[in-house]
Amino acid sequence: MRLKSIFTNSFGILFSRVTGLGRDVLMASALGASVWSDMFFVAFKLPNLFRRIFAEGAFTQAFMPSFIASRHKGVFATAIFLRFLLFLMAFSLFITFFPEPITKLLAWGWGKDLIADTAPLTAINFWYLDLIFIVTFLATLLQYKEHFATTAMSTALLNISMITALWLYMKEDPKTVAYALSFAVLIGGGLQIVAHLITLNRFNLHKLLIGGWKYRKHKDVKEEKKHFQSLFLPGIIGNSTPQISAFIDTILATFLMTGSVSYLFYANRVFQLPLAIIAIATATVLFPSVSKSLKNNDEKSAYANLDKAFWLLAFLLGGAMIGGILLAEPIVWLLFERGKFTQLQTIETVNVLQMYMVGLLPFGLAKLFSLFLYASHRHKKAAKIAVYALITSVSASLILMQFMGASGLALAGSIGGWVLFGLTVKEVGFDRFLEIIKSRRSVYFVVGLFLFAILLSSLNAFFIQHIR
């Protein structure tokens, strides 16, 4: 297992997420959990949804196996890039001229006036989707060369751009702040592209794309493109369960009290931190090597990596899950409770965060096991599993939101995560899972989490008595 690459990738993601939390702290101070914060989060939701789907594995896990198997890699890569980019640009132009229908789709529970006010923000933010596709495509080429640091660090450029906008316009009215943030999103996306182009040149991968463009009419890649297309849609569905669930939760939250969209956003930001720096970082690093091992019929090496990565994720994610549940109030208080973000809003966000954290371990481990489905081209199986998990999550959301509000939406997502994990393990093979957990490490895991929970409970009691 490539521990050095995993920790390098984790550090880059951690840096990006820390700057993201800094951005959210400033945003909470400037906008609180208000109508304008809800408006911006709704406008940013769709491009952010696609960013997570594309950037956190869906495109890569469809593209990488096809790219590794391609006989004309440059021509194949160029053909896929141009096809996607032209489609996305046309889609973005459509949204620019007709933003209100897509905004209504994102916020069913909002009235006509609120939709009209949010629509211009949606039109601006949607162009980030085009930019992040370019970033993801270039990042996948770098991952083929097993370089991960640039992609992991580059998200910080988006956050820095938004922090700069907040710093410059924080004292202005909320409408000005929301528009400044929207334009900062596009500037941040452009900076991410520049960073990847510089690294691409350092690895001489620009020659691959130039050659692909030059010989695009002389090499036949029709079958390779057809194979990629057969993997792409199932790959998107299979990878996007948590994102689609969160997207639907945002829509459902518009039917709840004002601030519910923001509570979900702030809590999900904290939830995504350990998921990204532990699970996504590990899966991103392992995927190219697992794909190459399975292509070369070296299953022993591939599953040896699974065993080591499983216990790394189990201990780290298990600890983060317990910590997130027991220390939710100190975390939210420390990060967000200032300016227009009140104590009542802290309590609501804490409740949502605790419910999200219930699903941290299963989502992370499902990400690991699903690598073997994508590396072995079983994208349709992964998609079917994801659909079952999504149906479970949405059904639970419709029920639990009636009794628990935004917290019910978060808990429903976690329930879907456990279903996703169980079905993914079943498809990969319960026998392999049992081989992994039939280990002394299982005892260490249970005892360690129990002692850790006792320690954190004491810390939380100290916070309530002496700090709160």
In terms of C-beta density within 10 A (0-12 exposed, 13-18 middle, 19 or more buried), how is residue 178 classed?
buried
Q: How many domains does the chain have?
A: 1
* pLDDT for the residue numbered 55: 53
Give the pLDDT band (50/70/90) at residue 1: low
Name, of 13-22, 350-359, 456-465, the range with top average pLDDT: 350-359
Residue 257 pLDDT exceeds 90: no
Give the pLDDT band (50/70/90) at residue 34: confident
Kindly state the percentage of the chain with pLDDT values over 70: 94
pTM: 0.72
Question: Residues 121-158: pLDDT tens digits?
Answer: 999 999 998 998 899 899 888 888 878 888 888 888 99
Average model confidence (pLDDT) across the chain: 83
* pLDDT for the residue numbered 466: 63
* pLDDT for the residue numbered 383: 86
* 162 against 57, higher pLDDT: 162
Question: Residues 313-322: pLDDT tens digits?
Answer: 889 999 999 9
Residue 420 pLDDT exceeds 90: yes
* pLDDT for the residue numbered 347: 86
Q: Which domain holds residue 193?
A: 3-466
